[in-house]
Structure 1
Amino acid sequence: MKKVYLASGWFNPNQERRVKEAEEVLRGLGFDVFSPREHQHPQYEYMSNEWRKATFKSDVDHVDWCDFIFAVYDEEDSGTMWEIGYTYGKFGKEKPIIIYHETDGLVNLMISDSLTAYLKNMEDVKKYDFVNFPEIPYEGEIV
């Protein structure tokens, strides 16, 4: 079973809907999904130093653990962008980065040129070859 790190914000209703849908679809495809949204370390006070350290360590450890990153790019989240950059910086093209970008909008050059595949809807996600990870470039305008 492939392990996936699901990078996404969940800080407003649209982001929360997208990340929940991605969790469901990826699990439906048979993946072991680590979604930081589901791992908030309730044993610590939210945003305390202990919580921050535990969350940072857990997220970094799970980026290292996974076989690939699935990042929801809509309504850009700085944590998601960091996770993409960390993955590419540490693993280069050895660890696939799948970008899911449901809405319209420009994509940052650093994301467009580090991704493995750019997918626009969940039907494309369901059809994607997660065994061979074929390249599907972003071909729109960049920022």
Structure 2
Amino acid sequence: MQKQIYLAGGWFTPKQADMVARAHKALAANPTVGYIHSPQEHQYKDVTEDNDPNGLFGGYEWANQTYQNDITAMDLADMAVVLWDMADEDTGTAFEVGYLNASHTPIVFVCEDDLQENPINLMLAKGISKCVTDINELETLDFQFVAGEPYPGKII
């Protein structure tokens, strides 16, 4: 049975956008993955900062509905893939890690930065199931069973 994946991660910098694109491509090629929910593709009424003809972006209606879409997608996901950029940590992604962890959803944490040079907060480190240091690994990772492993990097 293929897994439904919630793909979390910022897309606000060129590095983050590149990570999301590469992760989506790798997951799409993985035979153990069925559906990939990437929040940037499911914004309320397709509104973005650059595409907002009715002035909804940043308002209550847009924020409420986009939040609810993401919560529903996390609730329906079998697994999550979380993309982490040490140079520009995203608070929304940190929230998603907490929510997914509290929902007992296994989390594959992806960070291509040096894990010994760039420590992460213990709450993130302890909330993940597996750490991957190369996005390309997502193409062959068996999402049918992701064994828990301790975070291998430096923790603060």
TM-score between the two structures when normalised by the length of structure 1: 0.90
1:26 is matched by which residue type in structure 2? L
Select the structure of larger CA radius of gyration.
Answer: 2
> Secondary structure at 1:31's aligned position in 2?
strand
The residue aligned with 2:66 is 55
Q: Percent identity over the alignment?
A: 31
Please report how far the alpha carbon of residue 101 of structure 1 lies from its aligned counterpart in structure 2 after TM superposition: 0.5
Greater CA deviation, 70-79 or 24-33?
24-33
Partner residue of 2:120 out of 107, 116, 128: 107
1:23 is matched by which residue type in structure 2? H
Please report how far the alpha carbon of residue 43 of structure 1 lies from its aligned counterpart in structure 2 after TM superposition: 5.9
The residue aligned with 1:138 is 151
Number of aligned residue pairs: give it: 140
> Secondary structure at 1:54's aligned position in 2?
helix
Higher helix share: 1
**1:59-138 aligned within 5 A:** 59-74=70-85, 75-91=88-104, 95-104=105-114, 105-138=118-151
Using CA pairs under 8 Å that are at least 6 residues apart, name the structure with larger relative contact order, 1 or 2.
Answer: 2
The residue aligned with 2:44 is 41
Contact 2:23 2:136 in 1 (8 A): no
Please report how far the alpha carbon of residue 135 of structure 1 lies from its aligned counterpart in structure 2 after TM superposition: 2.2
The residue aligned with 2:3 is 2
The residue aligned with 1:19 is 20
For 2:26 and 2:139, the matched residues in 1 are separated by: 7
Output one character per residue of 1:69-103: Cα deviation in whole Å (capped at 9) or x when no partner.
10001132100000010111232xxx211100011
> Secondary structure at 1:118's aligned position in 2?
strand
Runs of 4+ aligned residues of structure 1 deviating over 6 Å after TM superposition are: none
CA RMSD in angstroms, aligned pairs only? 1.5
Unaligned runs of 5+ in 1: none
Unaligned runs of 5+ in 2: 48-55
